[in-house]
């Protein structure tokens, strides 16, 4: 028996597009579409306008790889930030996470991924040559490698440490270990081992 | 269809939003892939790192299907080497070599215990670089391309071996090499010994990696038009750099 569409082709198209978003399957996309239609003035129209503006105006920062409506981005042009400290992250989402923590007042460099032997991602496929040039030219004193604590993330960090060795800057990385609120009993062996190796005097 | 086994995680590929396809070198089922639901999530991401030792339960309706894995961590080997560039490169190189070189779902005798022994050495032994080179020689033998470094291919002598023929993989003495020595591969001295009691100099490790790399390239990877994995090339670069920095 042929499935009958519950709405017109426009609604089906909307549901199909919403289902492509992370975290949304076909059922939740259908619910989201219904919510948008029911709240046309309050949600749907402003959302459509916001999407249109974002699609037209958001671009990749030519200096750090961040996403912003201006190039260079707001972080790169902020004179109150410490230009001598550079934090290297894998993705823009990591930059946003660090900005949420409000711990770092330097500038960023987004790699756009990690080295991966299996996927054939090499240094030239990432934003690495630009990082090396930036460190050499911009008077950077410290590079903080904030890559993920994964095999690929740390492989990339070690590669960057080697690539930046000749630049004469301090290269540091984030600590690995027990998260705030973490109970030792529930931690995996790897995290516990890393925390134990990185113990500090009190 | 269902079986349980133990293995080493070789590679993880994203599949849909939260699932991953994990390739594992298992003890009894060879290199075997399976789908891990939720493998991209926070709970399993740390477990599914290359080099980690895991217990797996594989289930599928038919033997030909990809099947689903239930994975449990046995030993977090990746975390133990994350801080050490050379050790991390060796673990990723070993995993990438097996992932690319071994046929899928064909048990290879002794491959799992050999890999586990080598990973044990990488974690704890100061002579791990020479053990790694020896492990690559074992890998070549398992794939049918064993090197014969016991005696000279020309004279049959067992002493004074200094080169290896790049085509046959057999050792040659310095005397027998004569005018052909430029065309032969240097045989590092540590490969002439049964075991390594002391740390082998970086230059010898680099020569060993170049030797096994040549035969891996020529016999295992080239005919599939694949280069050596990037992690393996980085490992060789590391020992070349160490040899240049600190001398032999």
pLDDT at B248 over 60: no
Do B189 and B208 meet the contact criterion of CB atoms below 8 Å apart? no
Q: Is the pLDDT of residue B225 over 80?
A: no
Q: Does residue B197 surpass a pLDDT of 80? A: no
Q: How do residues B132-144 score in pLDDT, each as one tens digit?
A: 999 999 999 999 9
pLDDT band at B104 (very low <50, low <70, confident <90, very high): very high
**Percent of chain A having pLDDT more than 90?**
69
Chain A contact set for B47 (CB, 8 A)? 188
Q: Are B222 and B80 in contact (CB under 8 A)?
A: no
Check residue B51 and give its pLDDT.
Answer: 95
CB A144 within 8 A of CB A137: no
Of B11, B47, B79, the CB nearest to A193: B79
Residue A119 has pLDDT above 90, yes or no: no
The predicted structure's pLDDT at residue B62: 93
The 3-class SS string of chain B reads CEEEEEEEEEEEEEECCCEEEEEEEECCCEEEEEEECCCCCHHHHCCCCCCCEEEEEEECCCCCCCCEEEEEEEECHHHHHCCCHHHHHHHHHHHHHHHHHCCECCCCCCHHHHHHHHHHHHHHCCCHHHHHHHHHHHHHHHCCCCCECCCCCCCCCCCCEEEECCCCCEEEEHHHHHHHHHHCEECCHHHHCCCCCCCCCHHHHHHHHHHHHHHHHHHHHHHHCCCCCHHHHHHHHHHHHHHHHHCC
Residue B198 pLDDT: 84
DSSP secondary structure code for residue A104 in this structure? -
With cut-offs at 50, 70 and 90, classify the pLDDT of residue A4: low
Please tell me the predicted confidence (pLDDT) of residue B56.
Answer: 96
The verdict on whether omega for the bond into residue A72 sits within 30 degrees of 0, i.e. cis, is: yes
Whether the per-residue pLDDT at B196 is higher than 80: the answer is no
- The end-to-end CA distance of chain B, in Å, is 54
What pLDDT is attached to residue B29?
A: 95
Q: What is residue A90's predicted lDDT score, i.e. its pLDDT? A: 96
What is the pLDDT, as a whole number, of residue A166? 86
- In a mutational test of the B interface, the residue from A117, A125, A189 whose CB has the highest number of chain B CBs within 10 Å is A117
B107-162 confidence digits (pLDDT tens): 988 899 999 999 999 999 999 999 999 999 999 999 999 999 988 988 888 888 99
Residue of chain A with shortest Cα separation from B9: A151
- The shortest C-alpha distance from A71 to chain B (Å) reads 31
Indicate the residue of B13, B52, B85 with minimum beta-carbon distance to A158: B85
Closest CA to A146 of A198, A71, A92: A92
Confidence tier at A15 by pLDDT (50, 70, 90): very high
For the cut 70, the answer to whether the pLDDT of residue A3 exceeds it is no
Mean pLDDT across chain B: 91
Considering only the beta carbons, identify the residue of B17, B49, B99 that sits closest to A118.
B99
Query: In chain A, which residues have their Cβ closer than 8 Å to the Cβ of B83?
Result: 154, 194, 197
Taking residues B18-47, report their average pLDDT: 93
Mean pLDDT for the stretch of residues B206-227 = 86
Nearest CA in chain A to B75: A189
Q: Residue A121 is encoded by which pair of tokens?
A: 């991602």
Residue A162, judged by CB atoms within 10 A of its CB (0-12, 13-18, 19+), counts as: middle
d(CA A192, CA A91): 26
At residue B231, the pLDDT reads 87
pTM as predicted? 0.88
Question: Which residues of A sit within 8 Å Cβ distance of B?
Answer: 22-23, 115, 117-118, 120, 122, 149-151, 154-155, 158-159, 161-162, 176, 188-191, 193-194, 197
Task: Tell if the CB–CB gap between A188 and B82 is shorter than 8 Å.
Answer: no
pLDDT interval class at A42 (50, 70, 90): very high
Place of tokens 């005097």: A201
The pLDDT value recorded for residue A14 is 94
ipTM of this complex: 0.87
Dist CA A122 CA B26 (whole Å): 28
Are A191 and B82 a contacting pair at CB < 8 A? Answer: no
Region B36-49: mean pLDDT is 89
A122-148 tens-digit pLDDT:
888 899 999 999 998 878 999 999 999
Q: Going by DSSP bridges, is the β-strand pair B161-164/B171-173 parallel, antiparallel, or unpaired?
A: antiparallel
Q: What is the DSSP letter of A2?
A: P
Per-residue pLDDT band at A89 (split at 50, 70, 90): very high
Q: Model confidence at A156, in pLDDT bands (50, 70, 90)?
A: very high
């Amino acid at each position: 028996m042929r499935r009958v569409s519950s709405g017109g082709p426009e609604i089906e198209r909307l549901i199909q597009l919403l289902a492509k978003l992370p975290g949304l399957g076909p059922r939740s996309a259908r619910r989201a579409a219904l919510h948008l239609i029911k709240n046309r003035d309050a949600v749907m129209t402003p959302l459509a306008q916001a999407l249109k503006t974002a699609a037209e105006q958001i671009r990749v920062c030519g200096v750090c790889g961040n996403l912003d409506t201006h190039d260079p981005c707001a972080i790169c042009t902020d004179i109150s930030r410490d230009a001598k400290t550079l934090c290297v992250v894998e993705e823009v989402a990591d930059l946003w996470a660090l900005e949420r923590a409000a711990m770092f007042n330097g500038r960023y460099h987004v790699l756009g991924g990690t080295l991966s032997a299996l996927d054939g991602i090499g240094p030239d496929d990432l934003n690495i040559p630009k990082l090396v040039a930036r460190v050499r030219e911009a008077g950077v004193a410290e590079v903080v490698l904030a890559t993920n604590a994964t095999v690929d993330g740390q492989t990339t960090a070690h590669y960057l440490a080697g690539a930046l060795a000749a630049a004469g800057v301090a290269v540091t990385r984030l600590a690995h270990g027990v998260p705030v609120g973490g109970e030792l009993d529930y931690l995996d062996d790897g995290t516990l081992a890393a925390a134990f190796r990185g113990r500090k005097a009190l | 269809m269902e079986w349980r086994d133990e293995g080493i995680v070789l590679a993880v590929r994203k599949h849909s939003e939260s699932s991953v396809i994990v390739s594992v070198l298992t003890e009894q089922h060879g290199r075997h892939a399976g789908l891990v639901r939720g493998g991209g999530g926070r709970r399993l991401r740390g477990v599914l790192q290359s080099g980690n030792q895991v217990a797996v339960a594989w289930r599928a309706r038919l033997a030909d299907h990809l099947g689903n894995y239930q994975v449990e961590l046995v030993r977090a080997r990746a975390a133990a080497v994350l801080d050490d560039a050379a050790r991390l490169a060796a673990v990723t190189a070993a995993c990438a070599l097996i992932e690319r070189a071994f046929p899928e779902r064909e048990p290879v005798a002794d491959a799992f215990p050999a890999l586990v022994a080598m990973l044990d050495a990488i974690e704890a032994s100061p002579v791990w670089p020479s053990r790694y080179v020896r492990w690559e020689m074992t890998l070549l033998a398992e794939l049918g391309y064993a090197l014969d470094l016991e005696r000279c291919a020309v004279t049959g002598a067992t002493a004074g071996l200094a080169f290896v023929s790049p085509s046959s993989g057999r050792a040659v003495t310095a005397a027998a090499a004569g005018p052909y020595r430029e065309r032969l591969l240097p045989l590092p001295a540590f490969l002439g010994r049964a075991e390594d009691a002391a740390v082998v100099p970086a230059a010898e490790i680099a020569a060993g990696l170049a030797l096994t790399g040549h035969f891996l390239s020529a016999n295992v990877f080239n005919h599939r038009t694949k280069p050596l994995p990037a992690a393996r090339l980085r490992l060789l670069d590391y020992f070349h750099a160490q040899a240049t920095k600190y001398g032999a």
